[in-house]
Amino acid sequence: MAQADLAKFQNSTGSSWLGYTWPVALGLIALTFPTWQYITTESWSTEQGSHSPLVLASGLWLLVRMLATTHAIQSRPSIGRTAAAIVPAAIGLIVFRAAAVIELEVYAMYGLFVAVLYAFIGWRALASLWFPLLYLGFAVPLPDSLVAALTNPLKLWISDAAVAILYLAGYPIASSGVTIQIGQYELLVAAACAGLNSLITLTALTLFYVYISHKAHWRYMAVLTLIVAPVAVFSNLVRVLILVLLTYHAGEATAQGFLHYFAGMTTFATALVTIYALDRSILAARSLFEGRQT
């Protein structure tokens, strides 16, 4: 389907567009190859960046599909505006690479791709592609400092909540910050709750699902998207509870082995199913309410 959409777009834009495509594509590949090399070897191999290939593939598919429908509103911006968009992004990419500031280098690369797309299709067509461009932004790895700042309050809350639940259940458990002490074992929620990164992944995939299913109903999209954060936090609370109980009953080696990753996959899958079930339930309730009104 994506290949057919791309062919339709290429045919509709004419040979002049194609004449510029391959030189620009080769130039982008040459300029951004070191950045892609870092992303694929360093970022995608971590739990924090493991979602990026899926987001990138689905985002590009959606971008190509929507790109084929923008021919009527495409325009060529002036050389001055094109240069004003591309040159700063390219300079930023080179400067941040030379300074070894990899996070900003990745953002500059993303900005460069958007600027080049603008040069080919103009502002109106680019604005119509706001969702796939926003969605592709989730494939860009966040700086570790930003992730820590965003997740530390959640880790503290999850630690306190897990301790309170298990204490009420009769377990010998206490906590100090993100450190949980249960029996003879000590766990760091910073490690046990690395699954908080699934909040980013779950948000991205939910946005994709909601847009594909309900893009004509932006209010409903907003409501369902707001549900993502509570579901993700609750799922990670369940994960921490599972890991703490595994540590207490089966030992630290068992909890930090295969079952550690299995717990992460299970809770993430549960979160996705929960989002889908909530979507279906809300739609069913709305249909029932509208039926009674008529």
Active site residues: 193, 239
**Alpha carbon 278 to chain centroid distance?**
20
CA atoms within 13 A on the CB side of 83: 3
The span from the CA of 245 to the CA of 175, in Å, is 15
Given a contact cutoff of 8 angstroms between Cβ atoms, the answer to whether 99 and 111 are in contact is no
Sheet harboring 179-182: ordered strands across?
Answer: 173-176, 179-182, 185-188
The span from the CA of 160 to the CA of 195, in Å, is 17
The span from the CA of 75 to the CA of 88, in Å, is 22
Given a contact cutoff of 8 angstroms between Cβ atoms, the answer to whether 240 and 193 are in contact is yes
Instruction: Please state, in angstroms and as integers, the Cα–Cα distance from residue 11 to each residue in 61, 66, 68, 236, following that order.
Output: 18, 15, 10, 48
